[in-house]
Amino acid sequence: MLVSLNDYSAAVFDLDGTLLNTLRDISEAANRSLQRHGYPSHPANAFCAFIGDGPDVLFQRATQAGKDSSPCITELVETYREECIRQQDRYTTLYPGLTEFMPHLQTAGLQLTILTNKRQLHAERCVERFLDRWEWQVVLGSGDHIPRKPDPAGALKIASDLNTAPEKCLYFGDTDVDMWTAKRAGMTAVGVLWGFRNQQELESAGADVIIRHPKDLIEQEG
């Protein structure tokens, strides 16, 4: 599928693994949390498979916990949030190519938005620290009012807030959760391969377009 930016009015971005490489910060905070509660730690790359569905699922995967482990998972998540504050995103970086890509989208008239399973305050802090060179119309994180992805409610709220139809939105993400969210919301699902997951996962989850580098979409436009 070829994409013409002229056909769209908004771009919805996942945060971790799509805009920001947060793997080291997440893995270090999570491993400290696991160790504090008596669980073994994992290599950083192992967290590529744990990330994407929020911290509860992250620790279910990291501990191989069953359904009866909710109190344990709750404690791990609380500790993890404390560790994330201590970590202060010290190793987080912007992915290469985005400094050229984002202005290209803005020049094409697309409104920029973010939808993440991070908590709202953490998402806003990341935007302020790493992404404030661009104007974001909506930054939507997880909270009591919006279910986590892959529920499409957050994506649909963004479209509604922008007063645009979902089919006029490009959705960029690096996991199957992102592709499911985009498809369920009726948006064009763009899978990015610079993040945490692989091409097979993105294709299986229904990606309409897959790009290896932000410039791929620019060159396609050209």
Residue 112 CA to chain centroid, in angstroms?
14
- Per DSSP, the residues of 129-156 read HHSTTS-EEEEEEEBTTBPPTTSTHHHH
Whether 66 has a pLDDT exceeding 70, the answer reads no
Categorize the per-residue pLDDT at 63 as very low, low, confident or very high, splitting at 50, 70 and 90.
very high
Write out pLDDT tens, residues 77-110: 999 999 999 998 999 999 999 999 999 999 999 9
* Residue-averaged pLDDT of the chain: 94
Encoding tokens for residue 63? 């501990």
Q: What is the pLDDT of residue 222?
A: 56
Q: Quick count: other Cβ atoms within 10 Å of Cβ 214? A: 21
Whether 2 has a pLDDT exceeding 90, the answer reads no
Whether 71 has a pLDDT exceeding 90, the answer reads no
Q: What is the pLDDT of residue 188?
A: 98
The pTM of this model reads 0.94
**pLDDT (average), residues 106-131:** 95
Instruction: Provide the residue type at 126 as one letter.
Output: C
Whether 204 has a pLDDT exceeding 60, the answer reads yes
